[in-house]
A and B are shown apart, each in its own frame.
Chain A
């Protein structure tokens, strides 16, 4: 256990170094004049002129050699300071905190909603593998996954905000504004996790130990709970940790569509505007979150199946 934690700590440090350095390198090497980009984001298209760009260049010292800037960033990082945004001038840590909060809530509620929708569906489909319900669930899952999150969000808006008038279409404030964006993401996630759960449950249902439990005379429910769920849960939970890929991309689009002030659409702005400290800071924070998430997934898997922890 402590070995696992220590290993993750080392990994976190490694992630910080690699992700930070990589982002820095990539953004620096990008074509396009950084001063013009930053000025465009600051002053808008109508007021953008070469003078504005020059002023930005002077103010931010964008002409300095890159090793100096990189070393300075690492130095600041060691002191726990992530630098200032080139566009707004505010500290990166403050901006990230205000952007990350909403996004984390969105992602968390989307994940939980997707579990609530996907797992029971997958369970039932897996137990009745090959039946009409299973096939219907398959078609539903494929349909949801074949729709871009953008379109799904718009459809949900049309249904829930215009037709039914239950929920507001966009904004940020209470759970009502968060409902549609997280439902959009949750449906896409649930589509896949329900299929993964279904496969896992169906596979477990055909194993020897499962059959043996039934032969022993245990009631169906006990068989399911004691022998089925824990074994089926492992691939599902492993896959959950990977849903993050879909989640991140979905979060960007969903935040843009629903005018949700999170890190997704801020990140797009920052890459386009070449706001190096913000991109580095965001990538770093996301990277560390992944490490945490992986740690959680690993611990959960070990909890469910002690054999994984023991030496092989």
Chain B
């Protein structure tokens, strides 16, 4: 039986296009959000902490461009400052969790043996201490401040990156093409950079974008159990919790911080994956 060209249809890998539409949309979103977070506080003149109880829950388009919260504080100002704080700190947390996680994970998979076992044991012990407990305990040292919050979050998030990096790399390294590269004499760094990294990058980028969302949400979780940041600090996660009781009267105002977080994670996801494979 002769193999026809059409039999091969559907079996070739899709051609990778580094700049598909979805990636461009994602980058566009991120650029807009970054502009809002960085320039917003500079351009918006309203004070995010100034209260005006007579203007409680003012609707969008009244004296306040984006309405006011229950204290009569400008939502636009609070969103701008909140975006700067939340996004900035979420980025910092994610980087401080992803970098060691990735490096140690690849190291563990590459070296194997004692190194791997020691690192896995370490990660398991860190994982064994429940993340929330760790954050609660650290927060109890300095209630209402940022540093213990993000320290605790990073500590509980890095294991995620470590484990996924390790297992994916381990699986990759037993593939025949890695063996072939090794036999051909290519060095460690070459293999890691050109063959391993492109494979694990998409998975890790997906995780990273969700991790940033998780960091912001962890703060709203803590605010929900009243262990959050000191008032009147504007922060997206705690704004959602503060405004929640008013969902019946001003649903749009309640949704606004949530929409910003949604746009951030969506932008990151689209940029990371681009919607297509490889």
Direct contact of A and B (CB under 8 A): yes
Chain A residues at the B interface, C-beta cutoff of 8 Å: 7, 11, 14-15, 18-19, 22-23, 26-27, 29-32, 129-130, 134-135, 138-139, 142-143, 145-151, 154, 192, 195-196, 199-200, 202-203, 205-206, 211, 214-215, 234-235, 238-239, 241-242, 244-246, 248-250, 252-253, 256-257, 265, 267-268, 271-272, 279, 282-283, 286-288, 290-291, 294, 301, 305, 307-308, 312
Interface residue SS majority, chain B: helix
Is there an interface contact between B125 and A18, defined as CB atoms closer than 8 Å? yes
Residues of B within 8 A of A (CB): 7-8, 10-14, 22, 112, 117, 121, 124-125, 127-133, 136-138, 140-141, 156-157, 159-160, 163-164, 167-168, 170-171, 173-174, 199, 202-203, 206-207, 210, 213-214, 217-218, 220-221, 224-225, 227, 237, 240-241, 244, 247, 258, 261-262, 264-266, 269-270, 273, 275-278
Whole-angstrom distance between the alpha carbons of A154 and B254 in the complex?
A: 13
Question: Nearest chain A CB to B116's CB is how many angstroms away?
Answer: 10
Find chain A residues with CB under 8 A from B199 CB. 203
B-chain residues with CB within 8 Å of residue A7 when the two chains form the complex: 117
Query: In the complex, what residues of A have CB within 8 A of residue B10's CB?
Result: 214
Beta-carbon contact of A252 and B112 below 8 Å? no
Q: Which of B8, B163, B220, B262 touches A150 (beta carbons < 8 Å)?
A: B220
Instruction: Provide the residues of chain A in CB contact with B160, threshold 8 Å.
Output: 239, 242, 245
Q: How far is the CB of A104 from chain B (nearest CB, A)?
A: 14
29 intermolecular pairs with C-beta atoms under 8 Å apart: A18-B125, A18-B128, A23-B133, A30-B137, A32-B140, A130-B276, A138-B270, A139-B266, A142-B213, A142-B269, A146-B262, A148-B240, A150-B224, A151-B258, A154-B244, A195-B269, A199-B203, A205-B277, A215-B11, A235-B167, A238-B163, A238-B167, A242-B159, A242-B163, A245-B214, A283-B129, A286-B133, A294-B127, A312-B173
Given A199-B273, A239-B164, A145 and B210 contact (CB-CB distance below 8 Å): yes
Least distance between A8 CB and chain B CB atoms (Å): 9
A151 vs B246: C-alpha distance in the bound complex, in angstroms?
A: 12
Q: Which residue of A lies closest to B205 (CB)?
A: A199
Q: Are B275 and A135 in contact (CB under 8 A)?
A: yes
B277 contacts across to A, CB distance below 8 A: 129-130, 202-203, 205-206
Give 6 new A-B contacts, CB below 8 A, not counting A148-B237, A203-B202, A245-B127: A18-B125, A26-B138, A138-B275, A145-B217, A245-B131, A250-B221
Q: How far is the CA of A134 from the CA of B11 in the complex (A)?
A: 20
Of B11, B140, B203, B240, the residue contacting A31 (CB under 8 A) is: B140
A170 CA / B258 CA spacing, docked (Å): 25
Residues of A within 8 A of B138 (CB): 26
Measured between beta carbons, the chain B residues less than 8 angstroms from A26 are 137-138
What B residues does A294 contact at CB under 8 A? Answer: 124, 127
Residues of A within 8 A of B125 (CB): 11, 14-15, 18-19, 287
- The residue from B128, B164, B202, B218 contacting A15, defined by CB atoms under 8 A apart: B128
Does the CB pair A15–B124 fall under 8 Å? yes
Distance, CA A132 to CA B203, complexed state (A): 21
B8 touches A244 (CB 8 A): no
Are B121's CB and A14's CB within 8 A?
yes
Chain B: minimal CB distance from A300 (Å): 12
- Nearest first, the 6 closest Cβ-Cβ pairs linking A and B are A287-B128, A146-B262, A148-B220, A146-B261, A290-B128, A26-B137
